[in-house]
Amino acid sequence: MVQGSKSTEPQQVRYYSNCLFWAMWQKIRYGGELNFYKSNTWKGFHVTWTNLKEEEWEYTILDQHKRKWWYYPILFKGIVRKRRH
């Protein structure tokens, strides 16, 4: 999906997923690496994918904000964008 993309604008995804499933699927399809970060919005982790061009991409919610401690993002309709550092 983003491998051939020239755009750095967020791309709306038509299906439900989460950052882990999306990143694993990108790694299977295109290679690259998975990156795990401690999440700032819930009690778990956030996963991003680095492609073979060393660009880091993430699957996330556009209006991300801090959630309750019990929140677990199982599946959601999100966006794909280059990760901001």
**Tens digits of per-residue pLDDT, 13-55?**
788 899 999 999 999 999 999 999 998 877 789 999 999 999 9
CA distances from 75 to 21, 41, 71, 78, 79 (A): 9, 15, 12, 9, 12
Q: What pTM value is reported for the model? A: 0.78
Task: With a cut of 70, say whether residue 5 has pLDDT above it.
Answer: no
**Tens digits of per-residue pLDDT, 44-73?**
899 999 999 999 999 988 776 776 766 677
Q: Give the number of other Cβ atoms within 10 Å of residue 52's Cβ.
A: 10
